[in-house]
Amino acid sequence: MEFTVYILFSDKLGKYYVGQTKDLKSRLSRHNQGRERFTRTGCPWKLIHSIYCSSRSEAMILEKKIKNLGAKRYLASLE
């Protein structure tokens, strides 16, 4: 099963959010409908970057790596 690690950005808060999911479209919708407690105050969220992983464990490892580095630094390292 394919999992996605994603990075969102909120212009309202000027902050990034990193997560992982099986269904990116549905998850982004939940964030933007205010149905997720942690991201509720930052609506609307924009999808900045997504990475597909072949397993949940791979996605969780990558998510942790990005969170430890910081989304902004991770994105800068891609340029």
pLDDT of 6-23, one tens digit each?
A: 999 999 999 999 999 999
Q: What is the pLDDT of residue 79?
A: 87
Please give the model's pTM, rounded to 2 decimal places. Answer: 0.94
Q: Which residue range(s) make up the domain with 15?
A: 3-78
Distances, alpha carbon 6 to alpha carbons 2, 10, in Å: 13, 13
> For 32, how many CA atoms within 13 A lie in the half-sphere containing its CB?
13
CATH number of 62's domain: 3.40.1440.10
Return the structure tokens found at 70.
């910081």
Q: H or E element: which one contains 33?
A: none
Q: How many domains does the chain have?
A: 1
| Structure token pair of residue 6 | 């994603």
